[in-house]
Amino acid sequence: MARPQLEDGHTQIANELLEHLAMIHLSPNQWQVLLCIIRKTYGFHKKVDYIANFQIVRATGLNRHVVSRTLKGLRERNIINRNTKSIGIQKDWEQWQLPKLITLDTKLPEQATDNCYLNRQPVLPEQATVLPIHTTNVTSPRVTQKKKETIQKKLYKRYGEFKNVLLTDDEYEKLKVRFNSRLPERIEVLSEGIASKGYKYKDHYATILSWARRDEQQGGKNGTYREDPFAAAKGLKPYTRPPVFRD
């Protein structure tokens, strides 16, 4: 149980100053910092004392950035005097720069009324301006799909018996340089696989290259052959040696 006693120490402050402090409106952080300054000055019978920011941080528990910003605000309002680290409360309360509060006796400035509003004639319904109607078009999935197909038609050309192998002109030329006369056969294998097995590939150009690389690896130097993952698409049985494409 706390039992504070005057004999253990007290802070002596003039009643006039305390009464005017009770009338000012400060933020909670400003009150904490101000009370700390009063404690470290009047509490030691001093008007001004050397008070470092870390001392206020330790006494109030506030962040050092908050303490620095709060001291600046109190100094700008002339509630405290601060010369480097020497800080003290401004005893002359008439110099405090406080915001003016609006009371019941305060007269508000009269609002000027433009005469044009008083003399304005009422607007008839037929004279009212018709504002344009802004419509928002919502694109359906079907329209989006059509747009995608249109873009694909512009970029890709269809190859193979079933016209389902998509290649750009640049991709087709690269494959033609690499495979020469074997290119139509590779395109037909992919076309048949897509049509019969429903194979789906994001990039048909990359698929043809991948299949060719696997054919080369499966052919090997010693003529051995492992199971071909695309044997069904090529019309071959597993564990049989398919024709190896060579340039």
pLDDT value at 232 more than 60:
no
Q: Work out whether strand 157-159 and strand 165-167 pair parallel, antiparallel, or are unpaired.
A: antiparallel
Is residue 62 within 8 A of residue 100, CB to CB? The reply is no
pTM of the model: 0.41
Is 74 domain-assigned? yes
Q: Write down which residue in 95, 128, 155 finishes a domain.
A: 95
Number of structural domains in the chain: 2
Please indicate, yes or no, whether residues 226 and 150 belong to a single structural domain of this protein: yes
Average pLDDT, the chain: 78
Torsion (CA) 152, 158, 164, 167 in degrees, nearest 10: -70
Whether residue 157 lies inside any domain: the answer is yes
| pLDDT band for position 223 (cuts 50, 70, 90) | very low
Per-residue model confidence as pLDDT tens digits over 187-198: 999 988 888 888
Predicted confidence at residue 92, as pLDDT, reads: 87
Residue 152 shares a structural domain with residue 78: no
- 90 and 156 housed in the same domain: no
Answer with the one of 34, 61, 95 that is the final residue of a domain: 95
| 16 and 86 belong to one structural domain | yes
Q: What is the pLDDT of residue 224?
A: 40
The number of C-alpha atoms within 13 Å of 89 and in the hemisphere containing its C-beta is 25
Final residue of a structural domain among 75, 95, 115: 95
Is residue 2 a part of any domain in this protein?
A: no
- Do 18 and 87 fall into the same domain? yes
Q: Which domain holds residue 74?
A: 11-95
Min mean pLDDT across 36-40, 60-64, 97-101, 104-108 is at: 104-108
Q: Is residue 161 part of a domain?
A: yes
Task: Say yes or no: 79 and 147 in one domain.
Answer: no
- Asked if 35 and 61 count as a contact pair (C-beta separation under 8 A), the reply is no
Looking at the fold, whether 86 and 150 belong to one and the same domain comes out as: no
CA 127 from centroid of its chain's CA atoms: 47
C-alpha 179/C-alpha 159 separation (Å) is 16
Residue 243 covered by a domain: no
- Residue 69, domain CATH: 1.10.10.10
Reduced to 3 states, what is the DSSP secondary structure of residue 89?
A: strand
- Residue 124 inside a domain? The answer is no
Rounded mean pLDDT, 144-162: 74
